[in-house]
Amino acid sequence: YGEIVPQIGYGPLSLKYFITYTPDYAGYNSNTMGGTEGKRSRGTTYLDLNFTQPINESWTFGAHYGYEKIKNFSEANFQDMKVELIKDLGDGWTTGLAYTKAWDKDGYYRNYSNGEPDAPISNPIDSTFTVSVKKVF
H runs (alpha helix) in 1-137:
30-33
Residue length of the chain: 137
**pLDDT tens for each residue of the chain, 137 residues long:** 899 999 999 999 999 999 999 999 998 999 988 888 999 999 999 999 999 999 999 999 999 999 999 999 999 999 999 999 999 999 999 999 999 999 998 888 877 766 677 777 777 788 999 999 999 99
- Check: CB of residue 86 under 8 Å from CB of residue 60: yes
pLDDT of residue 5: 98
pLDDT of residue 122: 73
**The model scores a pTM over 0.75:** yes
pLDDT of residue 114: 65
